[in-house]
Amino acid sequence: MSHGNGQAHTQTHAHVDKVLEKGGPFTDEYFQAGKDVKKFLREQCKVLIIGAGGLGCEIVANLALTGFSDLHIIDMDTIDVSNLNRQFLFRSSDVGKSKAVAAADFVMKRIPNVKVTAHHNKIQDFGDDFYMQFNLVVCGLDSVEARRWINATLYNMVDDDNPESLKPLIDGGTEGFKGQSRVILPTISSCYECSLDMLTPPTTFPICTIANTPRLPEHCIEWASVLEWPKVFPSKKLDNDDPDHIEWLLNKSLTRATEFNIEGVNWSLVQGVVKNIIPSVASTNAIIAASCCNEAFKIATTTAAYLNNYMMFIGNEGVFTYTFEHQKRESCVVCGGETMDLEVKDEMIVEDLLEILKQKAEFQVRKPSLSNDQGNIYLQYPPQLEEYTRQNLSKSLSDYKGQTILVTDANLPFKLSLRLV
Amino acid sequence: MDLEQITSAEFKVTDQRPDHKTRRYDRQLRISRLWAAAGQSALENARVLVINGSATSSATLKNLVLPGIGHFTVMDDQLVTDADIGNNFFLEPESVGKPRATETVRLLLEMNDSVQGEGLVKNPYHVLETQPDFFTNFSAVILHNTETDLTLKLSDLAWSNHLPLFSMKTSGFYASLRVQLPEQTIIDTHPDAIVDLRLNKPFEQLKKFVQSTDLNKVSDNDHAHIPYIVVLIKQLDEWKKSHDGALPKNITEKREFKKVMDSHRRKGVDEQNFDEAQSQAYRAFQSNDIPHQVAELYQDDSLKNLSKDSSPFWFLVASLKVFSDRHGVLPHPGTLPDLHTDTQTYVHLQTIYKNKAREDVEELKSILIGIIDKFSVSINIFSDDLIGAFAKHSAFLKVIKGSSIGDEYTSPRRDVISSGISDEFTESAYAIYVAFIISDAFSEKYKRQPGDCKLEDFENDVMRVNSELEKVTKDLCGKEPSKVISDSLLELVRGGGSDLPNTAAFLGGLASQEIIKVITNQYIPIDNYCIIDLIKSTTSVLKM
Amino acid sequence: MIKIWSMKKEAENGQKKKPKTSAAQLRVQKDITELELPSTMSTNFPNPSDLLNFELIIQPDEGMYKGGSFKFTFNISNNYPHEAPKVKLTQKIYHPNLDHQGNVCLNILREDWKPVLNLNALVVGLQYLFLEPNAEDPLNKDAANDLLRDRNQFKSWVAASMSGKPVKGEPYDYVLAR
Mean pLDDT across chain A? 93
CA distance A161 to A352: 29
CA distance A329 to B62: 40
CA distance A58 to A70: 16
Alpha-carbon distance B152 to nearest alpha carbon in chain A (angstroms) = 24
Alpha-carbon distance B267 to nearest alpha carbon in chain C (angstroms) = 13
pLDDT at C19: 65
Q: Is the pLDDT of residue B319 over 50?
A: yes
- Neighbours of C, requiring at least 3 CB pairs below 8 Å, are A, B
Q: What is the mean pLDDT of residues A107-132?
A: 96
Q: Is the pLDDT of residue C158 over 50?
A: yes
pLDDT at B29: 64
Whether the bond between B528 and the residue before it is cis, its omega within 30 degrees of 0, is yes
Percent of chain A with pLDDT over 70: 98
Interface test with B, best of A287, A297, A313 (most B CBs within 10 A): A287
Helix (H) or strand (E) holding B526: none
Q: What is the pLDDT of residues A376-419, one digit of tens each?
A: 999 999 999 999 999 999 999 998 988 889 999 999 989 999 98
CA distance B487 to A65: 28
Alpha-carbon distance A330 to nearest alpha carbon in chain C (angstroms) = 14
Q: What is the pLDDT of residues B251-293, one digit of tens each?
A: 999 999 999 999 999 988 889 999 999 999 999 998 888 999 9
Instruction: Tell me the chain C residues in contact with residue A193 when contact means C-beta distances shorter than 8 Å.
Output: 23
Q: What is the pairing mode between strands C53-58 and C41-44? A: antiparallel
- Neighbours of A, requiring at least 3 CB pairs below 8 Å, are B, C
pLDDT at C17: 67
Q: What is the mean pLDDT of residues C53-69?
A: 97
Q: Is A24 left (phi over 0), alpha (psi -120 to 50) or beta?
A: beta
pLDDT at C14: 64
Q: In chain A, whose CA is at the least distance from the CA of B532?
A: A321
Percent of chain B with pLDDT over 70: 96
Query: Among A178-187, A203-212, B224-233, C6-15, where is mean pLDDT lowest?
Result: C6-15
The pTM of the full predicted model, rounded to 2 decimals, is 0.94
Band of residue A3 on the pLDDT scale cut at 50, 70, 90: very low
Q: In chain A, whose CA is at the least distance from the CA of C115?
A: A197
pLDDT at B417: 97
Domain A340-420 indexed as CATH 3.10.290.20: yes
Same fold, A14-200+280-324 and A207-275: no
Band of residue C136 on the pLDDT scale cut at 50, 70, 90: confident
Whether the bond between C19 and the residue before it is cis, its omega within 30 degrees of 0, is no
Backbone φ and ψ of B240, nearest 5°: -65, -35
Residue A335 among the catalytic residues: no
Q: What is the pLDDT of residues A254-300, one digit of tens each?
A: 999 999 999 999 998 999 899 888 888 899 999 999 999 999 999 99
pLDDT at C12: 65
Q: Is the pLDDT of residue B10 over 80?
A: no
Q: Across the interface, do B270 and C136 touch by the CB < 8 Å criterion? A: yes
Q: Across the interface, do C115 and A197 touch by the CB < 8 Å criterion? A: yes
CA distance A379 to A249: 44
Name the CATH topology of B21-182+501-542. Answer: Rossmann fold (3.40.50)
* CATH assignment, A14-200+280-324: 3.40.50.720
DSSP per residue over A139-186, as a string? EE-S-HHHHHHHHHHHHHH-BTTBGGG---EEEEEEETTEEEEEEE-T
Mean pLDDT across chain C? 93
Handedness of CA B85, B91, B93, B99 (dihedral sign): negative
How many other β-carbons are positioned within 10 Å of the β-carbon of residue A231?
11
Band of residue B353 on the pLDDT scale cut at 50, 70, 90: very high
Q: Which domains does chain C have, with CATH numbers?
A: 23-163 (3.10.110.10)
pLDDT at B33: 60
Q: What is the mean pLDDT of residues A242-254?
A: 95
Q: What is the pLDDT of residues C88-132, one digit of tens each?
A: 999 999 999 999 999 999 999 999 999 999 999 999 999 999 999
CA distance B214 to B384: 39
Q: Does C141 touch chain B (CB under 8 A)?
A: no
Q: Number of A:C CB contacts under 8 A? A: 207
CA distance A322 to A313: 7
Q: Is the pLDDT of residue B172 over 60?
A: yes
More confident residue, C12 or A7: C12
Interface test with C, best of B218, B221, B345 (most C CBs within 10 A): B221
pLDDT at A179: 96
**Domain residue ranges of chain A, discontinuous segments joined by +:** 14-200+280-324, 207-275, 340-420
ipTM above 0.85, yes or no: yes
Mean pLDDT across chain B? 93
Q: Does C111 touch chain B (CB under 8 A)?
A: no
Active-site annotation holder among C40, C88, C103, C105: C105
Determine whether B355 is exposed, middle or buried from the number of CB atoms within 10 Å of its CB (0-12, 13-18, 19+). Answer: middle
pLDDT at B304: 93
CA distance B63 to C94: 57
Going by C-beta distance under 8 Å and a sequence separation of 6 or more, which residues neighbour residue B36? B29
**Domain residue ranges of chain B, discontinuous segments joined by +:** 21-182+501-542, 204-284, 292-400, 406-495
* CATH assignment, A207-275: 1.10.10.520
